[in-house]
């Protein structure tokens, strides 16, 4: 899952339950959106959940900049 504020989700044009693609220069993952009460312009991802490939695929650590875009069911790797 990718947790986003309502404002951040709206800026990317995604809604709760839809897919968002999170992209770095190393890779991308496509995850379902969970809109939650949190700071705008931030995405929370489960970097160390058992079975998750988010950390390895993105090569990102907390605080890194990522790009968000609407996701599709035919692209990107999930977590």
- For the chain, which domains are there? 2-70 (2.40.40.20)
pLDDT digits (tens, 9 = 90+) for 30-62: 999 999 999 999 999 987 766 677 888 898 888
pLDDT digits (tens, 9 = 90+) for 65-78: 999 999 987 654 55
Helix (H) or strand (E) holding 30: strand 28-35
Long-range contacts of 54-63 (CB under 8 A, 24+ apart): 54/22, 54/29, 54/79, 57/26, 57/27, 57/28, 57/29, 58/22, 58/24, 58/26, 58/27, 58/28, 58/29, 59/24, 59/26, 59/27, 60/24, 60/26
User: Can you give the pTM of this predicted structure?
Assistant: 0.84
């Amino acid at each position: 899952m990718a947790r986003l504020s309502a404002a951040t989700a709206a800026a990317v044009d995604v809604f709760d339950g839809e897919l968002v693609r999170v992209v770095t220069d190393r890779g991308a993952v496509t995850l379902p959106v969970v809109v939650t009460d949190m700071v705008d312009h931030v995405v929370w991802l489960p970097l160390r959940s058992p079975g998750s490939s988010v950390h390895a695929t993105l090569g990102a650590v907390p605080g890194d900049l990522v790009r968000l875009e609407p996701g599709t069911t035919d692209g990107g790797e999930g977590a």
